[in-house]
Amino acid sequence: MADLSIDFAGIRSPNPFWLASAPPANSGEQVMRAFDAGWGGAVWKTLGDPIVNVSSRFGAVDYAGQKVMGFNNIELITDRGLEVNLREIREVKKRYPKHAVIASLMTETKEDWKVLIRRCEDAGVDGLELNFGCPHGMCERGMGSSVGQEPKLLQEITAWTKEFAKTPVLVKLTPNIGDILDPGIAAVKGGADGLSLINTIKSIIGVDLNRLVPEPRVGNASTNGGYCGPAVKPIAMHMVASLARDPEVTIPISGIGGISNWRDAAEFIALGSTSVQVCTAVMHYGFRIVEDMIDGLSNYLDEQGMTSVRQLVGRAIPGFREWGDLDLGYQIVAKIDANKCIGCQLCVAACQDGAHQCIFTGPNDQQRPPHAHYPGTATAPRPQILGTVAGDRVPWVDEPECVGCNLCALVCPVPGCITMQETATETGDTWNRRVQEGRDKIPGGIHE
């Protein structure tokens, strides 16, 4: 069985699964139950001067029967006294010395940072995470994302904390910026030992159409909140990968954003995360989800022939190229397995209306589409392919016209029914190469 333990900038954890700083890591009692369930670490709910929260404070997007595809909150940092939290942290560290306990912090003045760091380290935390991400409530007070959005300020405050901290300092970034590299590199320059991202994305989760008030509703009003959950995963992965690829970013990354199972975690790790943090999925299903995360990741590593999770870190990064370096000669086309097809013709609707008009039905439907570079008719295969279940409702692909965009395969409800098959493998012809060799002018442009 693969070794799941990690060393994150000196913070050791039996596995890469940490609770993100959020309601699941709000109290000692919760964190201890999480550790019992298998979580390797916890970033405590952000400490600072206790705040007053509103009611209600959460909202969710459900999609096609799936609950909580996206989640948002207008909650602030901890509403519990510092002393209570520190006492509990001390207790947790005493009982779980091998697990990682990281204090998330947010405050204003240099002096306050000094006090907060000292008191947390005295309580025995393994590391610190600076919350420069909260996009509501705290930023108006000059904290949270208002720091994360100002690379200079972020660098300065990071440097202050490094003056005082004896344990590793992680900087948690906000995604509410133009380019994640700016705050990321500022954190590195400020001396951070690690990066955590993403915090939540500024959002309005919905509108109550009966009362005509945004949600989550506080009396007869609401405000923008922070978006998270499965829906934000692609955005978070892009930001993690973007930092992981950058040569200036030499410190480890803790990946956060929509991680719900081992597959999500493995993807984040392959894109350069050393640890992963989870909030929404725990809020939805509880601590128990970590069992499959550990089990699934471990099975996956075994199947891949990797002996430790460290071997997976960043393994998908070389597979990332800039657009201009992608192979222009590589070609795939759609193939429909007539015997799997159920005849819903969603691929036809998608290709006709949303792609390149090259999927047809029946032998007489062969009007060559307006998109075509030359007029003519598509040629239906002879004999017409009949499906075992869908009969003559099985559509057919005009292969020479198929641009291999994938859309039909994405919308087909039957797994494995439409596959995209290679017709030409890599040729090495890229846009950048064309530019270099002066082959970048294609007929039909502006200057003809």
Partner 1 sequence: MKSVLPQRRDELQLKDKKPLYSAAEARAEADRCLYCQDAPCIKACPTEIDIPTFIKKIATDNVRGSAKTIFEQNLLGYSCARVCPVEVLCVGACVYNAWHREPIQIGRLQRYATEKATEAGKPVLFTPAPPTGKRVALIGAGPASLACAGYLALEGHAAVIFEKRPFAGGLNTTGIAPYKLHVEDALHEVEWVQALGVEITTGMELGKDVFGKDLLRDYDAVYLGVGLGEDTKLRIPGEDGDGVYGATAWIERMKLTPTSERKLGRVLVIGGGNTAIDVARECALLGATEVTMVYRRDAASMSGYAHEMEGARKEGVRLVTRATPVAFERDAQGKLTGLKVTVDGAEQVLPCDMVALAIGQSKMHAIAAEFPGVELDARGCIVADPANGATGNAKVFSGGDCINGGKEVVNAVADGRNTARYLNQAWK
Contacting positions for ligand SF4 (CB under 6 A): 334, 336, 341-347, 350-351, 355-356, 358-359, 395, 397, 402-408, 412, 414, 417-418
Q: Which residue has the tokens 């005493």?
A: 94
Q: Residue 219: which of ligand FMN, ligand SF4, partner 1, none does it interact with, CB under 5 to 8 A by kind?
A: none
Rounded to whole angstroms, how far apart are CA atoms 174 and 177? 7
Minimum CB separation of residue 226 from ligand FMN in Å reads 6
Minimum CB separation of residue 234 from ligand SF4 in Å reads 21
Q: Which pairs from 214-218 meet CB under 8 Å and 24+ separation? A: 215/59, 216/56, 216/57, 216/58, 216/59, 216/72, 216/73, 216/74, 217/56, 218/54, 218/55, 218/56, 218/57, 218/74
Contact 16, 43 (CB under 8 A): no
Q: Which of 2, 6, 11, 20 binds ligand FMN (CB under 6 A)?
A: 20
Residue 134 annotated in active site: yes
Give, in order, the Cα–Cα distances in Å from 58 to each of 73, 207, 259, 265. 4, 13, 18, 24
Beta carbon nearer to ligand FMN, 285 or 349: 285
CA 305, 230, 107, 92 dihedral sign is negative
- Binding to partner 1 (CB under 8 A) within 202-221 occurs at none
Q: Residue 418: which of partner 1, ligand SF4, ligand FMN, none does it interact with, CB under 5 to 8 A by kind?
A: ligand SF4
Give, in order, the Cα–Cα distances in Å from 361 to each of 93, 367, 377, 381. 66, 11, 14, 11
Rounded to whole angstroms, how far apart are CA atoms 45 and 194? 18
Q: Which of 1, 52, 55, 65 binds partner 1 (CB under 8 A)?
A: 65
Beta carbon nearer to partner 1, 289 or 341: 341
Minimum CB separation of residue 361 from partner 1 in Å reads 7
Beta carbon nearer to ligand SF4, 224 or 345: 345
Minimum CB separation of residue 221 from ligand SF4 in Å reads 41
Residue whose C-alpha is closest to residue 378's, from 393, 396, 390 = 396
| Amino acid identity, position 116 | L
Q: Which of 103, 186, 232, 402 binds ligand FMN (CB under 6 A)?
A: 232
Task: Pick the stretch among 67-75, 209-217, 238-246, 341-349 that binds ligand FMN (CB under 6 A).
Answer: 67-75
Query: Interface with ligand FMN includes 176 (CB under 6 A)?
Result: no
- Binding to partner 1 (CB under 8 A) within 326-345 occurs at 342-345
Q: Which of 257, 272, 314, 387 binds ligand FMN (CB under 6 A)?
A: 257
Q: Please tell me which residue in 134, 351, 408, 417 is annotated as part of the active site.
A: 134
Residue 390 parent element (H or E): none
Query: Is beta strand 11-13 parallel, antiparallel or unpaired with respect to 17-19?
Result: unpaired
Rounded to whole angstroms, how far apart are CA atoms 338 and 192? 56
Residue 161 parent element (H or E): helix 151-164
Q: Which of 11, 60, 77, 251 binds ligand FMN (CB under 6 A)?
A: 77
- Binding to ligand FMN (CB under 6 A) within 101-140 occurs at 104, 131, 133-134
Q: Which residue has the tokens 């002066």?
A: 438
Binding site for ligand FMN (CB under 6 A): 20-23, 45-46, 71, 73, 75, 77, 104, 131, 133-134, 172, 199-200, 228-229, 232, 256-259, 278-281
Could you give the residue numbers annotated as active site? Answer: 134
